[in-house]
C-alpha cells in the first residue's frame, strides 16, 4: 500500500522569506503523480502543484517549486517570497495506477509571520 509521510506538523516563515515543506512516500509503482494541496481556513482544497513521476524536471508554478527525488522517494515543496496569504495547511498527496485515488499525508500547518 502506498503511504505518504509529512514529518513537519507545523512550520513558520517570515514574510518574503523562503520555506521548504518535506514529504516522503512509499510505492512500488513506476508511474504515478505527486501533488501539493493547500487548505486555508475556508477548508477549500486548492491544488498548488503537480509532478509526474516520469518527468525528471522539477515542476514550478510561480513562487512554488518542488524538489522531486524519485530514487529517494522525496517530494518537497519550496515557497519563495512567502506571503501572508500562503498561510494554510499543506497536504502532500500521491496518485498511482489507473484508479486516480489520492493518498494524503497528515499535513503541515504553515504560519507566515509579518
Partner 1 sequence: SAVISQKPSRDICQRGTSLTIQCQVDSQVTMMFWYRQQPGQSLTLIATANQGSEATYESGFVIDKFPISRPNLTFSTLTVSNMSPEDSSIYLCSVGRDLLFFGPGTRLTVL
The least distance separating partner 1 from the CB of residue 52, rounded to whole angstroms, comes to 8
Alpha carbons 93 and 36: distance in angstroms, whole number? 6
The least distance separating partner 1 from the CB of residue 101, rounded to whole angstroms, comes to 5
**Based on CB atoms, which residue is closest to partner 1, 14 or 44?**
44
**Based on CB atoms, which residue is closest to partner 1, 63 or 106?**
106
The least distance separating partner 1 from the CB of residue 102, rounded to whole angstroms, comes to 6
Which residues lie near partner 1 (CB under 8 A)? 33, 35, 37, 42-45, 47, 50, 52, 91, 95, 99-107
Residues 6+ apart with CB under 8 A from 43: none
**Based on CB atoms, which residue is closest to partner 1, 19 or 94?**
94
- Is the Cβ–Cβ distance between 103 and 3 less than 8 Å? yes
Amino acid at each position: 500500500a502506498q503511504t505518504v509521510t509529512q514529518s513537519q506538523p507545523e512550520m513558520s516563515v517570515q514574510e518574503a522569506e523562503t520555506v521548504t515543506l518535506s514529504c516522503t512516500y512509499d510505492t512500488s509503482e513506476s508511474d504515478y503523480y505527486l501533488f501539493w494541496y493547500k487548505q486555508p481556513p475556508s477548508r477549500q482544497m486548492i491544488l498548488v502543484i503537480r509532478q509526474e513521476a516520469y518527468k525528471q524536471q522539477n515542476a514550478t508554478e510561480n513562487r512554488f517549486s518542488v524538489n522531486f527525488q524519485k530514487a529517494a522517494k522525496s517530494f518537497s515543496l519550496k515557497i519563495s517570497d512567502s506571503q501572508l496569504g500562503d498561510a494554510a495547511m499543506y497536504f502532500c498527496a500521491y496518485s498511482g495506477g489507473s484508479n486516480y485515488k489520492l493518498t494524503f499525508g497528515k499535513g503541515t500547518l504553515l504560519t507566515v509571520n509579518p
